[in-house]
């Protein structure tokens, strides 16, 4: 079925279930509860979970399979966003042509950068990609914002204005991103008791696209092409000695990965028609590296888990402040309450990066395979315990 083996098919259906049911899964606490601040089932954040999941899946095709660590993938994310917004400005608000253009432009841009960068490997490749990304950021931030040929609008960001041509736009269509008239901001709210669940059109469009690209990633991982990429990661020099030229394979992986990043950038613009140079900064490239390492490089579902984990920390955990901590520890004596708040304060709010850094350090040290390896260890532990219990129950009494 679907050309997948039982294990991959089961994983694919698990991802389908998690994404389709996300509005329920991410809203475990009642809306009026003091714990409702930990709910993540609102449209903007769910869209980010999926979009950055796509970004991480694409990066994992390059880093997880070939071992080539790029510090410049944010350049393709930014290029994709700019291409999508220009489609909105010049032709139509329909998100489908914008997404296609974003993928195509990012693919061409990654072909150019990959052709040059892949002449080197290891740390030299990483530095080259970082240099190209920073040059792209500088171009978008200043050079290409020149009034004579303003392509990026500098630090203000590129956005759609009322006087833009939009040659294919009709008055009967909404004046915001849509899919053949269906607005990306359309939202249905379902109230069940004390819980509120949101079902957003933009989110489910992102889900459909993510499921498609996730399926493509599975097929790539299991294909002869994927085996060749693993051979490159294992020992590229030995592979070259056999007479095989590994460079076309690494370039193909780099371009595919760049197209995934462009797709993510196009979807970001489709959800919010704005593109800025900050999406091309080195910090954005470092973020996707953390997502893949934290989730599990070289695994299928790991990048999605890592993207969700980091975006949850960024948007939910970072909102915890001293006032909330005082509410949590109000049952303690005043001195102990103030002491605990003082100890935890550096790790919350604006200090959430410190907590994330510690978690990433612990994962790298104790779980090199990321969250996926942690899940596998727990499964093995409970499976072994169950097997031991079953064996003990079958032991005849003396």
pLDDT at 193: 87
3-state SS assignment for residue 250: helix
Note the pLDDT tens digit of each residue in 367-378.
888 889 888 888
pLDDT at 174: 86
66, 179, 304, 325 from 308: Cα distances, Å: 24, 26, 6, 24
Contacts of 68 (CB under 8 A, 6+ apart): 62, 118, 121, 125, 250, 253, 254
pLDDT at 398: 40
Q: What is the CATH number of domain 6-281?
A: 1.10.3470
pLDDT at 307: 94
Q: Three-class SS string for 280-317?
A: HCHHHHHHHHHHHHHHCCCCCCHHHHHHHHHHHHHHCH
- Residue 63 confidence class, pLDDT cut points 50, 70, 90: very high
Which of 147-161, 281-295, 315-329, 360-374 is predicted most confidently? Answer: 281-295
pLDDT at 204: 96
Distance CA 64, CA 165 (A): 43
pLDDT at 27: 92
Q: Is 193 left (phi over 0), alpha (psi -120 to 50) or beta?
A: left
Strand partners, 183: 178
Tokens standing for 81? 């966003």
For residues 335-351, give the mean pLDDT: 88
**Where do the domains of the chain lie?**
6-281
- Note the helical H segments in the chain: 6-20, 22-25, 43-66, 74-90, 95-117, 122-141, 201-222, 224-241, 247-271, 282-295, 302-315, 322-328, 334-344, 352-366, 370-394
- Residue 2 confidence class, pLDDT cut points 50, 70, 90: confident
Distance CA 210, CA 264 (A): 9
- Residue 392 confidence class, pLDDT cut points 50, 70, 90: low
Residue 261 near residue 58, CB atoms below 8 Å: yes
Residue 199: is its pLDDT beyond 50? Answer: yes
Note the pLDDT tens digit of each residue in 102-120.
999 999 999 999 999 999 9
Count other Cβ atoms within 10 Å, centred on residue 171. Answer: 5
- Residue 393 confidence class, pLDDT cut points 50, 70, 90: low
3-state SS assignment for residue 398: coil
Count other Cβ atoms within 10 Å, centred on residue 161. Answer: 7
Residue 237: is its pLDDT beyond 90? Answer: no
Tokens standing for 10? 């089961």
Residue 187: is its pLDDT beyond 60? Answer: yes
Measured N-to-C along each axis, helices 370-394 and 282-295 cross at an angle, to the nearest 10 degrees, of 10
3-state SS assignment for residue 165: coil
Residue 325 near residue 344, CB atoms below 8 Å: yes
pTM, 2 dp:
0.92
3-state SS assignment for residue 193: coil
3-state SS assignment for residue 173: coil
């Amino acid at each position: 079925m679907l050309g997948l083996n039982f294990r991959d098919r089961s994983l694919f259906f698990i991802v389908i279930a998690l994404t389709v049911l996300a509005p329920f899964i991410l809203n475990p606490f009642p809306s009026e509860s003091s714990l409702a601040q930990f709910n993540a089932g609102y449209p903007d954040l769910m869209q980010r979970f999926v979009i950055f999941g796509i970004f991480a899946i694409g990066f994992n095709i390059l880093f997880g399979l070939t071992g080539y660590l790029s510090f410049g993938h944010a350049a393709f994310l930014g290029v994709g966003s700019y291409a999508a917004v220009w489609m909105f400005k010049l032709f139509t608000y329909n998100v489908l042509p914008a997404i296609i253009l974003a993928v195509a432009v990012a693919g061409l841009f990654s072909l150019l950068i990959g052709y040059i960068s892949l002449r080197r490997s290891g740390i030299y490749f990483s530095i080259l990609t970082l240099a190209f990304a920073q040059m792209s950021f500088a171009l978008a931030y200043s050079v290409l914002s020149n009034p004579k040929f303003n392509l990026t609008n500098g630090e203000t960001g590129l956005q759609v204005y009322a006087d833009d041509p939009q040659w294919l736009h009709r008055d009967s269509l909404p004046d915001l991103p849509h899919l053949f008239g269906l607005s990306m901001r359309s939202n249905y709210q379902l109230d069940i008791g004390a819980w509120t669940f949101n079902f957003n059109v933009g989110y489910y469009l992102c889900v459909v696209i993510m499921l498609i690209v996730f399926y493509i990633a599975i097929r790539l991982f299991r294909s002869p092409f994927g085996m060749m990429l693993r051979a490159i990661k294992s020992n590229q020099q030995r592979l070259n000695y056999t007479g095989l030229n590994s460079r076309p394979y690494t370039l193909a992986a780099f371009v595919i990965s760049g197209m995934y990043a462009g797709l993510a950038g196009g979807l970001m613009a489709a959800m919010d028609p704005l593109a800025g140079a900050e999406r091309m900064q080195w910090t954005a490239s470092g973020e996707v590296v953390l997502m893949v390492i934290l989730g599990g490089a070289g695994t299928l579902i790991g990048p999605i888990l890592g993207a969700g984990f980091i975006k949850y920390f960024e948007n939910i955990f970072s909102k915890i402040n001293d006032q909330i901590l005082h509410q949590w520890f109000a049952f303690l004596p005043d001195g102990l309450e103030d002491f605990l708040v003082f100890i935890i304060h550096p790790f919350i709010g604006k200090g959430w990066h410190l907590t994330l850094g510690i978690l990433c350090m612990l994962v790298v040290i104790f779980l090199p395979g990321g969250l996926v390896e942690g899940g596998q260890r727990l499964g093995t532990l409970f499976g072994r315990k169950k097997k031991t219990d079953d064996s003990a129950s079958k032991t005849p009494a003396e």
